[in-house]
Structure formats: structure tokens, C-alpha cells
Amino acid sequence: MKNFLLVILSGLLLAFGWPTYGFPLLLFIGFVPLLLMEHQVRGSQIRWKKLTVFGYSYVGLIIWNYITTNWLQYADVFGASFAILVNSMLMALMMVLYHSIAKRATTNISLLFLMCLWMAFEKLHLGWDFSWPWLNLGNGFSEYFTWIQWYEYTGTFGGTLWVWVVNILIYKGVLKYHAEKSVKPLKKDGIIILSTIVLPILISLTIYHTYKIGEQDINVIALQPNIDPYSEKYNVPNEAIADLLLKLTEEKITPQTDLVVAPETVFADHVKINQLEEAYFKRKLDLYIAEHPSINILSGISFINFITDESQIKAQSNYHSSGFWYDDYNSAMLLNTSDSVQLYHKSKLVVGVETLPYKDIIKPIIGDFMIDLGGTLAMKTTQEEREVFTTTNPKLAAAPIICYESVYGEFVTGYVRNGATVLTIITNDAWWGETQGHKQHLSYARLRAIETRRDIVRSANTGISALINAKGEITKSLPYGTQGALSGAVTANEKLTFYTRAGDYIARIAIFVAMFVFLITMFRKPRMS
């Protein structure tokens, strides 16, 4: 019963430390009860210790996963269950691996292994086919962005490292107290723990107050059409959408406006990719641009390409029951007075909605079944490079970040390394309703601003559309569930942060350390308890 209460406490501490409602100091003690549970199981006479550690860990981690991401069920109950249960299972397996090493290595070595293993797990979650990095620990400080201004040097893995170092120090302090039954030896430990929490915050506050925002001379408009994706979006012709977007733009446009941003797949009535120029809605946009030659319109759009040459079939191509192949794209386009249209195809895809993980293995088992977590159900075709849209303003080079892509720190730095001076995020968060889903998604955008020191123009179909400066501050926003346009000025920045250049170097070091510790300890005999 004691272990059961410990893991429940862990789950609750982690959950109520999470954005956007939580207080992140709780993350610094969230894993301590879980570690105490493992310590007690390891020292007990229980026969099936690994299974016991897994079972207890699973309970606590499901609590954390469910409370923080249960909003997924508003799009699809099965998909939400799959994400919560599988992610919790993978996290619990990390505790089992730690348990195996802890039986063979010293306390310090085994805890170092756990910290590095967890970061290796988070890095895996950023890159493999079942990618789901929503609960990577560094994301937990997104609402308290004044604490983590040093993410421009470390990325979110700096936050993960911070969380684990403090948890480990507190855990070791608890063990010392139980061993010595006195608080006197803990005074020094308490000072170290407090310093480990406070010093990074003080460093961050210093950066925050000394960082100078550049000249805000890029004038932008973010559109929020507020179209219901379940009842309206896929039934409204592109021409009607164009009329609505231009109506909203007209409310805010000035002769100085440089950029108008519209949401992900706002033009949802699939356009043949090789026939965009003939589309009537594009002609409407072109006519408006001709009247306002300084503006650039960046918008989401759904494309389709019917494949007539079988040699062009790709792994991401879709087969229709009518007997033909096609590519489906979730794309961004930029229109201006130039004759050419700039395109980018979303390349970090929602699992089960836009991509089928390990297709060659899974499709023979489940067929064409796809999980509905919000979106259109077809494999999307991606591209290798991060595209940067050039504009009529030589200072403005826009990164067309599409929805889920904004959760990936190192991925977003690819746009910046390719020359982006401003980040745009286009998204449709309406699938989850008035829940933490859209709030967390907006909050995570702050992290991308800090990591790259780029201002962000965020256009969300139903909200929350926002302007975010390079310090992670939301300077303007439109409430969820309202229709409108947001205008303001942002800064174009050409400088590269250390994190933009180095990427997830902390995670790469952690992977090496975890593998090294595993190899030198796993084949040792267990130590005496």
C-alpha cells in the first residue's frame, strides 16, 4: 500500500506541475516518490521485482499522462487511450531499466544512468515513427518562461537535465535522512538543492532583463477564421474561404503591412498541386495582392497529386480503392507580387492521422485503419529540407511551421539555419475543443521563440492566435473560439543562438553516457542489497 501511495503521489506531482495550469516547482520533486518506490522494491524480498517496479511505475505515470493529455479524447477516444497507455508503458520501462542497473552499480552511477536514459528516451520520442514528445520534461516550464531564458543555449533538454538533477539530489537527501535519522547532515544538502533550483532562475532572470528586443518594423496580421472542423471546414469551398480571409484582412490592413498569416489547411478543399494557378480562389488572392503590392500572404492549404507514373509512387503515397495512387499534402504557401508560388509540405506528422508508423509492418495487420487525433485521414507526403519563404521585404524571411512541427525544438532550428528571420506557426487546434490541448500548444511556442530568439506570428483556426516576441512573451492574442484578425509589429532577427547551431547536444551526450554505463554494468553480478 505504501508503494502504491508513493506512485500515485508522483503522478499527481508531475501532473500538477505541468502547463498551463500547474506550478513547475512540483516537477523538481515529482520523481522522488517513484524513486523511493523502486528503492524499497529493490531492497525487499519480492520475487518478481522487475515486474513489480514496472507495475507500480505504470500506475503513477498513467496518472501523469492522463491528467495532462486526456484532451486527446475529444478527437478520438481510442487514439487518446493508445497515446496515454503506450507512452506510460515506455516511461515505466525506463524505470525497469534503471532498476536493473541500480542492482549492479553504485547509487551515483545508477542515478546518472537514469537521468541520461530519460533524456535518451525523450530524444527517441522526437525522432521515431511513434513520436510523441508532448511530455518531454523541458516543456514543463513553458508558462514560466522567465525561468528558462537559457534555453537559447540548451534547448528543452536543459530543462529535463535540471528537473532530474534536483529530483536526484532530493531523493539522495531523503535516503540520507532515513539512514541517519537526523536533519543536521542535511543542511549542506539543502543549501545545494536550493542553489540548484535558484541559480538557474537567477541566471535566466538576468538574461531576460538584459536581452534587447530589436526594432519591431515588420508589420503583420494573423487571421483567425474560427471555422468548425467537424461541421464546416471541409464543406466550405475554397472561394468562400478566400472571401472570409480577405474580409478579415481588410479590417486590419495598412499600407505598411508586410505579412498576412492564415491557419493550417484553411483551404481544405484539396487542390491539385499542378493546377494551383488555375484555382479561382488563388485569383482572388492575387487580385487583392495587386491592390496591396507590399503584402505577402502565407496560408495553409491541402494539396493532392494524382500519380500516373508508377515509378513516382513513394512510401508515403496512398492507394485509393478505385485503383489509383495519390500523394496528399498538408502544406503552406506564400503568395506575393512574384510570379512564383512558394510551397512547403509539413514534415513532422501526427501519428496515426497523417502517418502510419512502421507502415510495412503494421499495415498488413490493421489494413488502412488510421487513428483520428484531429485532421484528415491520409498518409501525408513530406519533404527533406525546411523551407524558408522569401518576401517583398528583404528583412523578412518567414519559417512556415505547420502545427505539430512547433513542438520540435531542433527541427525548428532547421528553418532558422536556412535563413528564417521570423517564425510563423499555422495550426488548427479546434479538434480538442476548449481544453488544455490548444493552451499547451500555444505555450510550447514560447520555447521555440526563446531557443531561436525569433519572434513568432501564430495563426490558429479557432485560436489562440498570437504574437510572441523573442523572450517568449505573448504580446497580443485573440481568445479561443472567436473570429477576427490580430495586427502588430515583430522583429526580424538574423543572429543564430548557440542552440540553433548546436541542436540537442545535451541529449546526444546523454545517449553516449547511458550506453556506456549500461555496457559496463549490465553484465555485472547484482550487488548485495
| DSSP reduced 3-state for 465 | coil
What is the structure's pLDDT at 372?
46
Q: Any idea which of 95-99, 129-133, 180-184 has the lowest mean pLDDT? A: 180-184
Query: Residue range 73-84: average pLDDT?
Result: 87
| DSSP reduced 3-state for 467 | strand
The two beta strands, 389-390 and 342-345, are unpaired
Q: Which of 395, 392, 273 is nearest to 344 (CA)?
A: 273
Q: Which domains are delineated in the chain? A: 2-211+504-521 (no CATH), 218-492 (3.60.110.10)
**Residues β-bridged to residue 467:** 457, 476
Average pLDDT, the chain: 93
At residue 170, does pLDDT exceed 90?
yes
Greatest Cα pair distance in the chain:
80
Q: Which of 442, 402, 408 is nearest to 424 (CA)?
A: 402
What is the structure's pLDDT at 477?
98
Give the CA angle between residues 403, 128, 321 to the nearest 5°. 70
Q: Any idea which of 74-88, 129-143, 291-305 has the lowest mean pLDDT? A: 74-88
Which regions of 140-273 does DSSP assign to beta strands (E)? 218-224, 257-261, 267-272
What is the structure's pLDDT at 522?
78
pTM, to two decimals: 0.93
The phi and psi torsions of 46 (rounded to 5 degrees) equal -60, 140
The two beta strands, 422-427 and 296-307, are unpaired
At residue 181, does pLDDT exceed 90?
no
Q: How confident is the model at residue 164 (pLDDT cuts 50, 70, 90)?
A: very high
101-141: pLDDT as tens digits: 999 999 999 999 999 999 999 999 999 989 999 999 999 99
Percent pLDDT > 90 in the chain is 79
Query: Residue range 363-385: average pLDDT?
Result: 64
Q: Any idea which of 226-235, 360-369, 439-448 has the lowest mean pLDDT? A: 360-369
Do residues 461 and 263 make contact, with C-beta atoms less than 8 angstroms apart?
yes
At residue 224, does pLDDT exceed 90?
yes
Q: Which of 196, 102, 190, 205 is nearest to 150 (CA)?
A: 205
282-292: pLDDT as tens digits: 999 999 999 99
At residue 371, does pLDDT exceed 70?
no
40-67: pLDDT as tens digits: 999 888 889 999 999 999 999 999 999 9
At residue 525, does pLDDT exceed 80?
no
Q: Which of 428, 522, 435, 403 is nearest to 232 (CA)?
A: 428
Query: Residue range 23-30: average pLDDT?
Result: 98
Percent pLDDT > 70 in the chain is 95
Do residues 413 and 126 make contact, with C-beta atoms less than 8 angstroms apart?
no
CB-based contacts of 365: which residues, under 8 Å, 6+ apart? none
At residue 406, does pLDDT exceed 90?
yes
Query: Residue range 191-203: average pLDDT?
Result: 98
Do residues 160 and 14 make contact, with C-beta atoms less than 8 angstroms apart?
no
CA 314 → CA 237, 318, 352, 377, distances in Å? 29, 9, 18, 18
What is the structure's pLDDT at 374?
42
At residue 375, does pLDDT exceed 80?
no
What is the structure's pLDDT at 364?
56
Euclidean distance between CA atoms 467 and 456, whole angstroms: 6
What is the structure's pLDDT at 231?
67
| DSSP reduced 3-state for 93 | helix
What is the structure's pLDDT at 373?
40
At residue 527, does pLDDT exceed 80?
no
At position 297, the amino acid (one-letter code) is: I
2-24: pLDDT as tens digits: 999 999 999 999 999 999 999 99
Residue 420 or residue 529, greater confidence:
420
Please name the residue ranges forming H helices in 310-408: 359-366
At residue 214, does pLDDT exceed 50?
yes
Neighbours of 387 (CB within 10 A): 20
Euclidean distance between CA atoms 361 and 381, whole angstroms: 19
Give the CA angle between residues 213, 463, 432 to the nearest 5°. 130
Q: How confident is the model at residue 148 (pLDDT cuts 50, 70, 90)?
A: very high
Q: How confident is the model at residue 497 (pLDDT cuts 50, 70, 90)?
A: very high
DSSP string, 237-277: -HHHHHHHHHHHHHHH--TTEEEEE--TTSEEEEEEGGGGG
The two beta strands, 466-468 and 474-477, are antiparallel
What is the structure's pLDDT at 232?
64
What is the structure's pLDDT at 353?
80
Q: Any idea which of 113-122, 305-314, 447-456 has the lowest mean pLDDT? A: 305-314
Neighbours of 448 (CB within 10 A): 30
Euclidean distance between CA atoms 387 and 415, whole angstroms: 7
Euclidean distance between CA atoms 97 and 50, whole angstroms: 9
Euclidean distance between CA atoms 282 and 389, whole angstroms: 18
Q: How confident is the model at residue 432 (pLDDT cuts 50, 70, 90)?
A: confident
At residue 266, does pLDDT exceed 80?
yes
**Residues β-bridged to residue 185:** none
At residue 205, does pLDDT exceed 90?
yes
At residue 523, does pLDDT exceed 90?
no
Q: How confident is the model at residue 431 (pLDDT cuts 50, 70, 90)?
A: confident
Residue 362 or residue 151, greater confidence:
151
Q: Any idea which of 119-128, 264-273, 315-324, 389-398 has the lowest mean pLDDT? A: 315-324
| DSSP reduced 3-state for 103 | coil
Do residues 379 and 328 make contact, with C-beta atoms less than 8 angstroms apart?
yes
Q: Nine-digit cell at 420?
A: 528564417
